[in-house]
Amino acid sequence: MPIFNFRDEEALGKVASVDTTNVIVDVENVSHLKRLQVNHLAVLQSSRPGQHLIGLITQVTRKRGIENLSDDGIVDQNSELNLCRIALIGTMLDRDGSKDNVFRRTLESVPEIDA
């Protein structure tokens, strides 16, 4: 039986960028962003079934949008930029041969963009 069973509404956000072992997640919910802490573990969905990527949160960023005043006096407010940088450290396998829930310090895959 797998350790991780997540529903879609529990997702932190969507993968915005992948660079070797570093992943940047666009966090959609500000309340989720406020709960994140640097050096805590994070679980990402792998592109392979039965696998989850494990990483350490290395950076949490929240930048508010800048309000622009247009010529007609209408205020244009850009959206916030809420990001979380995660350094991948390994893969959690639901099953490896006869063993259940095996952690490997290798990356079996990388997350897909917008996943």
Per the model's pLDDT, the better-predicted residue between 13 and 85 turns out to be 85
Assigned token pair, 87: 């350094």
In what helix (H) or strand (E) does residue 19 lie, and over which residues does it extend?
Answer: strand 13-19
Indicate if the pLDDT at residue 50 is higher than 60. yes
What pLDDT does residue 10 have? 77
Domain residue limits, the chain = 14-102
Helices (H), 7-63: 30-35
Give the pLDDT confidence of 58-112 residue by residue, as tens digits: 999 998 766 555 555 555 555 678 999 999 999 999 988 899 999 999 998 888 8
Task: Considering only the C-alpha atoms of the chain, give the largest distance between any 2 of them, rounded to a whole number of Å.
Answer: 68
